Chain A
Amino acid sequence: DTEVTQTPKHLVMGMTNKKSLKCEQHMGHRAMYWYKQKAKKPPELMFVYSYEKLSINESVPSRFSPECPNSSLLNLHLHALQPEDSALYLCASSHPGRPNGYGYTFGSGTRLTVV
């Protein structure tokens, strides 16, 4: 299995809703990532988990709450989002800190619309 699976593929939520994005991989990767991508812009790194511990938070607002319950799963909990948070949210995984020969494997993303 060489895939990163993200669910749901599309999500519409109101500004008072609580929702979660899910990411799963079974490649034995111990680093997992969340990126946010606005239209016609490159992906922006949000969070990095390494061995199930949060190692990087790129000053992301607290309305985004990541969680890594085990080495295969990564969640992004959403609460009180704003319309400007509408974007494609991408999950990725990799071997952490290995000698470069290993890149990232990305999921297809969740298209989030906040109304």
Chain B
Amino acid sequence: DAKTTQPPSMDCAEGRAANLPCNHSTISGNEYVYWYRQIHSQGPQYIIHGLKNNETNEMASLIITEDRKSSTLILPHATLRDTAVYYCIVRPSFTGNQFYFGTGTSLTVIP
């Protein structure tokens, strides 16, 4: 079952930071937050994940609130190639292998 809520769509100007929010108010202590994106008709691509600390990699930063009920994916300098659907997913560790997608946010980067 999807346990996340995301805005259906967002726009961002090219070169600016894109901040994509995700609400996961029912998250439990052993659940991680994953972010994936899907460019049109391709397979989903892993971006970043975290448990409770903020995380950064070469693609993005993940900010998780202290109560862990929400998070924000930050693309620091959005390019046209970042136009995609972004999915926020919560997944428990160790318990099965389920990975369920929510409805995602369609991000359009505008020139």
Contacts and interface: CB of A to CB of B under 8 A. Distances in A.
Interface stretch (B19-27, B37-45, B58-66, B74-82): B37-45
Interface size class on chain A is 20 to 34
Contacts of A90: 43-44
Nearest to A35: B101
Nearest to B34: A103
Interface in A55-102: 55-56, 88, 90, 92, 94, 96-97, 99-101
Contact of A108 (B2, B36, B43, B102): B43
Given A42-B101, A43-B101, A56 B42 contact: no
Interface string B89-105: 00101111111111110
Contacts of B49: 100-101, 103
Contact of B93 (A50, A88, A100, A111): A100
